[in-house]
Amino acid sequence: MISVNKNILIAFSIVGLVLQSCNKLNLAPTDSIDPSKAFRNLEDVNMGVLGAYAPLSTSLIEAAAIVSDEVLLPTENTVSNTALHRWMYNSSYGSVTSAWNEYYVVIDRVNHVLEALPNIQVSGDSKTLKNQYQAELLALRAYSHFELLRGYASSYDGDGMGVPYMKERALSYPARPTVESNYADINADLLAAKELMPNNFTENIRITKAAIAGIQARVALYAKNWNDAIKYATEVIQAEPLAPKNDFPKIWVDNSDSEVVWKLARVIGDSRLGAAFYREAGGIVLYAPSSKMINLFNKADDIRYTAYIKDDPSRVGPPPSIKSQYLVKKYVGGNSSYPGLTSVKLFRTGEMYLIRAEAEAESNGATGLTNAASDLNALRSARIHNYAAQPFASKQVLLENIYNERFKELAFEGHRFYDLKRRKVAVERLSQDAANTSGAVKLEPTVAQYCFPIPADEMAVNKNMTQNPKYGND
């Protein structure tokens, strides 16, 4: 199995291409060479593809968790991202702006390799391999733009301000297109990728046909294109069944790939998503599961509770103890020497059941409500011992159950904040979760911090860039 890790960066330099994009989209890289000279054969292209995966980070996953209502800020955390949790960030705050550069680095690398591909002549089996690489690149470009859209769009409505869609190397001052335009470009890249991707390529640390369908389903959910959401979620569900109960906990310690459609592999030396919640030195908990989330779980029977959350009363002593009893367990991983070092599950079948359920409930009348209830009950049955299928009194009751199930199922995976944003619902914390938030209890959709800001560096040098509402052009 090929690991997407720091060794890829070494391989990237071997082909002679250094792709260190600038922080600002309007500046051309000064240390890159002609892609036609860097990529002369398919081996070079493969290294280029792996090099494009390499900068994928977890910064938006971390930021989305910290600003939402799924974690609380323990008083033992006096060192990390407290301003982010307290909604005090602006366009100079790196914890919410760093992803802008990170994803555009991925996109720039993708575009370098895509530029070279037409000049590489192949035949026979090599043509299939070339198609696979092109498909991965197109899908990676679409995914990266969609992640940027989730983080930085002014809204997810079609007329909202989207993000620059870079189809070639950045040599200009790109303006912000509409979200509708972003959806069109993302879907076009995904459709082209799917047509090129071989059916027999199934390496889940890279993008496969099932992963492309997963991206399509998620995009369709945000665009409220319910029919496509149902269609593409179904493709994933048919390709990757839900994990059996015995396998589900193993997913989170990297002992099972059951229902994992695409994961970001992590090896020693890589950044650790668990570091958003733990510190190695002293074991200080930076963020703990919120009471709001914990209260939703059936602690006795829901296998997700013990897979995601650790209840450790021994950490809490008599006053003046300030340690949290509950810890995020989901990303601890299977290596006790490197807590938090576990592959990041970017797409899972559990999400697809919830996408399809929501889309069915929103679109297909009585039949849709029946289908949606069936999907929700099927997911719960796979996750909860002794679960009996439930009826739902109305569409609204069913949707609220689906939203709450997303809260539980996708905990700490970077969805909760965006789920609230796409529904235009305030982020609202329980009082017991807000003891250390400096009053940050309710974040209304009308407040600037409801959207992440475009970075100040981008605003300073790109004359065509527009800041998100309420931030001003700082």
Question: Is residue 163 scored above 90 in pLDDT?
Answer: yes
Q: What local confidence, expressed as pLDDT, does residue 33 receive?
A: 55
The position carrying tokens 């996750």 is 383
Q: Which residue has the higher pLDDT, 278 or 189?
A: 189
Residue 82, Cβ density class (10 Å: 0-12 exposed, 13-18 middle, ≥19 buried): middle
Average pLDDT over residues 226-244: 98
Q: What local confidence, expressed as pLDDT, does residue 276 receive?
A: 66
Q: Read off the amino acid at residue 201.
A: F
- Output the average pLDDT for the chain: 90
Measuring CA to CA, which residue among 439, 420, 421 is closest to residue 88? 439
The position carrying tokens 């994933």 is 236
Sign, CA dihedral 341-84-144-463, equals negative
Quickly state the pLDDT bin for 14 (edges 50, 70, 90): very low
Q: Mapping DSSP to helix (H, G, I), strand (E, B) and coil, where does residue 51 land?
A: helix
Question: Is residue 427 scored above 70 in pLDDT?
Answer: yes
Q: What is the pLDDT of residues 61-109, one digit of tens each?
A: 999 999 999 999 988 887 777 899 999 999 999 999 999 999 999 999 9
**Contact at 8 Å (CB) between 165 and 177?**
yes
Quickly state the pLDDT bin for 170 (edges 50, 70, 90): low
DSSP 284-325: -BS-EE-HHHHTTS-TTTBHHHHHHEEE-GGG--STT----S
Question: Is residue 140 scored above 60 in pLDDT?
Answer: yes
**Contact at 8 Å (CB) between 361 and 281?**
no
Out of 280-289, 385-394, 414-423, least confident range: 280-289
Give the containing element (helix H, strand E) for 215. helix 209-223
Q: What local confidence, expressed as pLDDT, does residue 192 receive?
A: 98
Measuring CA to CA, which residue among 350, 418, 342, 430 is closest to residue 383? 350
Average pLDDT over residues 360-367: 95
Q: How many whole angstroms separate alpha carbon 153 and alpha carbon 149?
A: 5
Q: Read off the amino acid at residue 399.
A: L
The domain spans of the chain are: 275-327
